[in-house]
Structure 1
Amino acid sequence: MAPVALAFAVLDAAGDPADLGIVLAARMIPMLCFVLIGGAVADRWPRRTVLVAANLGGGLTQGAVAVVLITGHYDLLLIGALSAANGVLDAFTSPALRGLVPELVPADQLRKANALLSSVRNATKVIGPALAGVLVATAGSGTTIAVDAVSYVLAAALLARLPASPTTAPRRSDVLAGVWRGWGEFRRVRWVWVVTVSSAVMNLAQVGVWQVLGPSLTGQSELWGVVLSVRGVGLLVMSALMYRVVVRRLLATGQLLSGLGALPLFALGFGVQPGWLLIAAFVAGVGFSVSGVAWETSLQEHVDRGMLSRISSIDDLLSFVAIPVGMVAVGPLAELFGAGRVAVVSGVCHLCAAWSSLGFKEVRVLKSV
Structure 2
Amino acid sequence: MTPAAASSRRSRRPSWAGRNYTLLTAAAIATNLGSQGALIASAFAVLDSGGDGGDVGLVAAARTLPLVLFLLIGGAVADRLPRHRVMVAANTLNCLSQAAFATLVITGEAQLWQMMLLSALGGTGQAFFNPAAEGMLMSSVEGEQVSRAFALFRMATQGAGLGGAALGGALVAAIGPGWVLAVDAAMFAVAAALRSFLDVSHIPPRKPGGGLLADLRDGWQEFVGRAWLWSIVAQFAVVVAVVGAAESVYGPLVARESLGGPGPWGLALGAFGLGTVGGALLMMRWKPHRMLLAGTLCVFPLALPSAALAVPVPVGALYAVMFVSGLTIQVFGVAWMTALHQEIPEDMLSRVSAYDWFGSIAMTPLALALAGPAEQAFGRTASLWGCATLVVVVTAAVLCVPDVRNLTRRTRPVTGRTSLPEAEGGPTGAGGGSADGEGAVGGLG
**Which of 309, 319, 324 is the matching residue for 1:283?**
324
Q: CA deviation at 1:274?
A: 6.8
Q: Is the 8 A contact 1:44 1:171 kept in 2?
A: no
**Equivalent residue, structure 1, for 2:147:** 111
Equivalent residue for 1:367, pick from 408, 427, 436: 408
Partner of 1:220: 258
Structure 1 distance, partners of 2:112, 2:407, is 49
Counterpart amino acid of 1:56?
A: T
Structure 1 residues 294 and 5, CA, compared in 2 at 3 Å: closer, same or farther?
Answer: same
Give the letter aligned to residue 296 of structure 1.
Answer: M
Indicate the residue corresponding to 1:311 in structure 2: 352
Give the match for residue 228 of structure 2.
191
Q: Which runs of 5+ in 1 are unaligned?
A: none
Deviation at 1:99, TM superposition (A): 0.8
For structure 2, the 5+ residue unaligned runs are: 1-36, 411-445
Counterpart amino acid of residue 68 in structure 2: L
- Would you say 1:161 and 2:197 are equivalent positions? yes
CA distance in 2, matches of 1:84, 1:227: 26
User: Which residue of structure 1 aligns with residue 88 of structure 2?
Assistant: 52
Q: What is the alpha-carbon distance in structure 2 between the residues aligned to residue 260 and residue 133 of structure 1?
A: 24
- Relative to structure 1, the CA distance from residue 224 to residue 363 in structure 2 (aligned partners, 3 Å threshold; closer, same or farther) is same
In the superposition, relative to structure 1, how do residues 8 and 341 fare at CA in structure 2: closer, same or farther (>3 Å)?
A: closer
Greater share of helix: 1
Q: Given residue 96 of structure 2, which amino acid in structure 1 is its aligned partner?
A: L
Aligned positions, number: 368
Give the secondary structure class of the aligned counterpart of 1:163.
coil
Give the stretch that moved more between structures: 338-347 or 41-50.
Answer: 338-347
Query: Is 1:125 matched with 2:166?
Result: no
**Contact conserved, 1:208 with 1:324, CA < 8 A, in 2?**
no
Report the residue type matching 1:104 in the other structure: S
- The 2-side partners of 1:307 and 1:97 are apart by 13
What does residue 39 of structure 1 align with?
75
Alpha-carbon distance between aligned partners in 2 of 1:269 and 1:314, rounded to the nearest angstrom = 33
- Tell me, yes or no, if structure 1 residue 175 matches structure 2 residue 212: yes
In structure 2, the CA distance between the partners of 1:335 and 1:182, relative to structure 1 (3 Å rule), is: same
Contact 1:168 1:305 in 2 (8 A): no
Q: Identical aligned pairs, as a percentage?
A: 36
TM-score, normalised via structure 1 length: 0.84
Deviations 1:244-280 (A, max 9, x none): 2222211111011111223444555577777665544
Q: Conserved in 1, the CA contact under 8 Å of 2:295 and 2:335?
A: yes
The amino acid that maps onto 1:114 is F
Show CA shifts across 1:187-246 (max 9, x none): 112121011112222234444345545567786214766544433322221122212222
Instruction: Give the Å deviation of 1:65.
Output: 4.1
Secondary structure of 2:199 counterpart: coil
The whole-number CA distance in structure 1 between the counterparts of 2:133 and 2:289 is 25
- Contact persistence 1:238–1:289 (CA under 8 A): yes
Question: Closer, same or farther in 2 for the Cα pair 1:116/1:340, shift >3 Å?
Answer: same
**Residue type of the alignment partner of 2:98:** Q
Alignment-mate amino acid for residue 330 of structure 2: S
Moved more, 347-356 or 275-284: 275-284
Letter in 2 for 1:85: L
RMSD of Structure 2 on Structure 1 (CA): 3.4
Moved more, 348-357 or 277-286: 277-286
Q: Which amino acid aligns with 2:346?
A: R
Deviation readout 1:142-169 (Å, 9 max, x if unpaired) = 5443332222221122212222153664
